Amino acid sequence: MFMEVLMTQPLSMIACFSELEDPRIDRTKLHSLVDIVCLSVFAVIAGAEGWEDIELFGKQKEHWLKKYLRLPNGIPSHDTISRVFRMLKPEGFQEAFMNWVESLHEQLGLKLIAIDGKTMRRSHDKKTMKAALHVVSAWSVENHISLGQQSVDAKSNEITAIPELLQILELKGAIITIDAMGCQKNIAKQIRTGGGDYVLAVKDNQPTLRRAIDEYFLNVQVGTIQDSRVRQHTTSDNSHGRKTVRYYSIAPLPDSLSHLRKYWPGLRSIGQVVTVTERDGKETSEVRYYITSLEPKVKQFASAVRGHWGIENSLHWVLDVTFNEDQSRIRKDFGPDNFTLLRRFAITIIKQDKSRGSIRSKRKRAAWNNQALENILRLTT
């Protein structure tokens, strides 16, 4: 049977669930923890947005599911599913997924990793004064794989969440891109210590550094500084009635800024990106600055910067528009953390499916056609 094949694969994602620590006491274990978790993953792939949806999926697919899951007492109720995920420690759940991701590392080469945060807007609870959940995610840009997440109760806490997230990642040989909130000396040091490189956005939270980079590139542009080592690259694209031109510049760390190396481990280059957008006859521009441990290779720099922006389209936009995450009202205990993991698991699995169609259409096919769902699940082995 298909599930038995999966369970014999030592590095398959589903086999890794068997290592989860069950938070329930023995007398309440009417349903296998692996069955509950697998059922939930299958259901979310097929469009489930909450605990009731998972139960409904299970009841509609019970005959099919029994080919792959044990289900000795049938389909668990949504209250049972909710209670299990409210009790299940997110760290253990995430570790099970990470064990599967690690099996892909050597095969796929997870080189460019974007780290960014997203707030689940409806996850707050006024009655208990619980703030909306803010999730910091690590995303493999080339392979569209969720590598892990760290939950905090406010965007400002990203500074503490990012180091914890970095601890569970394989940093050796990777390029880590982080927005300005993560432009911190200890984070740069942690990445370099782990054998990775960084591309960090610099904004007003590092005013002295930002001003120094701004002045350097301004002097290069007006000719006050003659530096033949500056490398430049331009890209343009037209979409949805909008024309966007991006001017990338990167330079080895200037002698005038060499003192920064003692604060930013491994710092080699500084970068600038000027984005000019034209829409409906109106033109706007934006300037961004970066520090990086990479050598001053402008196309590599441009690829890293564009890859980081891609997390918005590849992960956050999909979570909001296709998985309806912002409207989720799951709020109690570990429930919000674990359901965000279920969504990211589902996105990762679906994005490995190279058949034609959008994520939305693939989820519908998985819900309506058992063979389509099986084809997607086979990608987890």
Query: In the structure, what pLDDT confidence band is assigned to residue 351 with cuts at 50, 70 and 90?
Result: confident
Whether 8 has a pLDDT exceeding 60, the answer reads: no
Segment among 58-62, 82-86, 125-129, 229-233 with least mean pLDDT = 125-129
| pLDDT value for 4 | 44
Whether 3 has a pLDDT exceeding 70, the answer reads: no
How far from each other are the two terminal CA atoms of the chain, in whole angstroms? Answer: 14
Whether 45 has a pLDDT exceeding 90, the answer reads: yes
Query: In the structure, what pLDDT confidence band is assigned to residue 17 with cuts at 50, 70 and 90?
Result: confident
- Which has more confidence, 163 or 158? 163
For the chain, percent of residues with pLDDT exceeding 90:
55
Whether 2 has a pLDDT exceeding 50, the answer reads: no
What mean pLDDT comes out for the span 335-352? 90
- Which has more confidence, 70 or 199? 199
Whether 347 has a pLDDT exceeding 60, the answer reads: yes
| pLDDT value for 131 | 60
Whether 96 has a pLDDT exceeding 90, the answer reads: no
Whether 101 has a pLDDT exceeding 80, the answer reads: no
Sketch the domain layout of the chain as residue ranges.
2-97+333-380, 109-321
Annotate the chain with three-state secondary structure. Answer: CHHHHHHCCCCCHHHHHCCCCCCCCHHHCCCCHHHHHHHHHHHHHCCCCCHHHHHHHHHHCHHHHCCCCCCCCCCCCHHHHHHHHHHCCHHHHHHHHHHHHHHHHHHHCCCEEEEEEEECHHHCECCCCECCCEEEEEEECCCCEEEEEEEECCHHHHHHHHHHHHHCCCCCCCEEEECHHHCCHHHHHHHHHCCCEEEEEECCCCHHHHHHHHHHHHHHHHCCCCCCCCEEEEEEEEECCEEEEEEEEEEECCHHHHHHHHCCCCCCEEEEEEEEEEECCEEEEEEEEEEECCCCCHHHHHHHHHHHHHHHHHHHHHHHHCCCHHHCCCCCCCHHHHHHHHHHHHHHHHHCCCCCCCHHHHHHHHHHCHHHHHHHHHHHC
| pLDDT value for 6 | 42
Query: In the structure, what pLDDT confidence band is assigned to residue 203 with cuts at 50, 70 and 90?
Result: very high
What's the mean per-residue pLDDT of the chain? 86
What mean pLDDT comes out for the span 18-32? 88
Segment among 130-139, 228-237, 354-363 with least mean pLDDT = 130-139
pLDDT tens digit string along 206-238? 999 999 999 999 999 888 878 888 999 999 988
- Which has more confidence, 9 or 80? 80
| pLDDT value for 26 | 84
Give exposure, 56-71, as e/b (b: 16+ Cβ within 10 Å). Answer: ebbeebeeebeebbeb
| pLDDT value for 1 | 44
- Which has more confidence, 9 or 349? 349
- Which has more confidence, 26 or 267? 267
- Segment of 12-21, 191-200, 344-353, 370-379 carrying the highest mean pLDDT: 191-200
| pLDDT value for 126 | 55
Query: In the structure, what pLDDT confidence band is assigned to residue 9 with cuts at 50, 70 and 90?
Result: very low
pLDDT tens digit string along 253-271? 999 899 999 999 999 999 9
